[in-house]
Amino acid sequence: MGRRKIEMKMVKDSSSRQVTFSKRRTGLFKKANELATLCAVQVAIVVFSPGGKPYSFGHPSVEEVADRFLNQVGKPKVSIPGQAVDQSRQEAKVGKLSRQLNTIVKRLHAKTKQGEVLREAARASRQEFTHQKPINELNREELLEMKKSMEKLREKVKSRISEIEASSSLLLLSNIAAEQA
C-alpha cells in the first residue's frame, strides 16, 4: 500500500477525525520522544482532542519545560562539578525511561492490532451465521454444515491462540533483553 500524500484539510466525518487524531497524536509524541532522546533537548507538547480532552507529552516533564519557557530560565553559564554528575545520572535515567516507554508503545500497538483482528473475526463470524434459522429448525444437512463451520472456527481460534502465545513470548524475551541492556 505505501505512503501517499494526504491533502491537508479538515476531516469531515467525526469518527474518522477521531481516528486520525489518535494516530497522528501517537506519531507526534513518538517523534518528540525521539527528538528529546537523540538531541538531549527539552520538549513539551499539549494537544486537545476533537472532544476537548487534553493530551500532553513532556521531556523531562511538561511542567518543567513550561516553567523554563515562561521564566526563560536557561542552563547556568558556569559548570558546577557536582551538577554535571547529577545531570549525567538524570540523562541515564531518562534514557532508561525512554526505552521503557518505547517498549510500552510497542506493546500497545501489538495489542491494538490484536484487538482489530479479533473485532474483524467477530464481525466475520456474525456475518457467517446471520442467515441461519434457529438450531431446532435445521435439518440434518444444515446441522452437518453448521458442525463443519464450527470445527473450522475452532481451528482458526486454536491457530490464533498459538500466534498470540508466540508473539507474547517474543515480546517477553525482547523486554528481558532490553532490561538487561
- Mean pLDDT, rounded, for 109-133: 77
Local confidence band at 84 (pLDDT 50, 70, 90 cut-offs): low
12-74 — its CATH code? Answer: 3.40.1810.10
- pTM recorded for the entire structure: 0.40
Return the closest-CA partner of residue 178 out of 113, 121, 108, 95: 95
On the question of pLDDT at 33 being above 70, the answer is: yes
What pLDDT does 42 receive? Answer: 92
What is the rounded distance in angstroms from the CA atom of residue 119 to the CA atom of residue 135?
Answer: 25
Domain segments of the chain as ranges: 12-74, 95-181
Local confidence band at 129 (pLDDT 50, 70, 90 cut-offs): low
Local structure of 144: helix, strand or coil: helix
